[in-house]
Amino acid sequence: MSFVANTETENQEKLKGTRLQVSSAGKRLFALLIDFIFALLLANTLVQIFRREHWDLVMQSRDLSDLLTFYGSIVFVLIFKDVFGRSIGKLLLGMTIRKIDDFSQRPLFIELLKRNLLLLFFPVEGVVLLRDGYARRLADKWWGTVVLDDQKAMRTILRIFLGNIILFGFFSVAILFQRSGIEKTAAYQTAEQAIRSHLSLQLLLEQSPEIEEPEMHLDLRVNAENPSLVRVRVGGEKTGKLVTVSLILRENPLGWEVLDLEAKPIREVAD
């Protein structure tokens, strides 16, 4: 114990003897929050991209493996977040990880992984971080690392700009895959069949076979009190019709049943 205490004292003296600034506990926790949000957005984006056919029906029978895939991807990102010497959160806040015995060196790849494995015990790590005078986690003490304010960090305005680009990228991907996600649902496919077989819409579909601007409001409960809705535009933007299909989820077998189909000219809706 005395050896560990002496080592800690020596490390603290090294920090005092330099112009380097140790990142505060609040700053480190905020960086971790940014990393968690990034991991959550990434996991959600991957779910959007790799949605299965009839995913709305699959959600009724989701098992533990589906949840493990989603939350496991978040844990994976958090563990590997510092593989390039700093995470997204640290980059945006101008922080860097350094070896405590040589501030010019970054920790090895394996050391960075070991550091983040202890995030699985975040409550303990959080308490240690807040109580430590140099805002170090247990992982920092065990693996000889320290988080410093990066003296060569990008200017604040550039970091803000980078953060906005990252967020915009996630939102752009979500919008890009929104339609494909809708079209993969059994609800949309059932509504599309009802629309294409409806006599009042045959002429419009012959002139313009594409169904545009799909929207969905789904209630995935079986025999729900309020129906789910699928809204689309059939025909041109000015001469077409806005079609609303009401559906309800039935079981045995599990599937969507069309309750009603309402088609209104766009001009009437606009008025």
pLDDT digit string, tens, across residues 152-194: 888 999 999 999 999 999 999 999 999 999 999 999 999 999 9
Of the candidates 255, 235, 252, the residue with the CA atom closest to the CA atom of residue 243: 235
pLDDT score recorded for residue 3 = 44
* 64-79 helix and 25-49 helix, angle to the nearest 10 degrees: 140
Same domain for 11 and 130?
Answer: yes
Same domain for 116 and 207?
Answer: no
Share of the chain above pLDDT 90, in %: 56
Please, what is the average pLDDT of the chain?
A: 87
217-260 pLDDT per residue, tens = 999 898 888 999 999 999 888 888 999 999 999 988 889 999 99
Same domain for 168 and 196?
Answer: no
39-63 pLDDT per residue, tens = 999 999 988 888 889 998 887 666 6
pTM: 0.79
Same domain for 88 and 206?
Answer: no
Share of the chain above pLDDT 70, in %: 89
If one counts the domains in the chain, the total is 2
Same domain for 107 and 192?
Answer: no
In-domain check, residue 181? no
- The residue segments making up the domain with residue 31 are 2-176
Same domain for 162 and 115?
Answer: yes
Tracing tokens 């996600």 back to the chain, one arrives at 181
In-domain check, residue 106? yes
Same domain for 262 and 147?
Answer: no
Give the CATH number, domain containing residue 208: 3.10.450
Same domain for 172 and 190?
Answer: no
Same domain for 169 and 197?
Answer: no
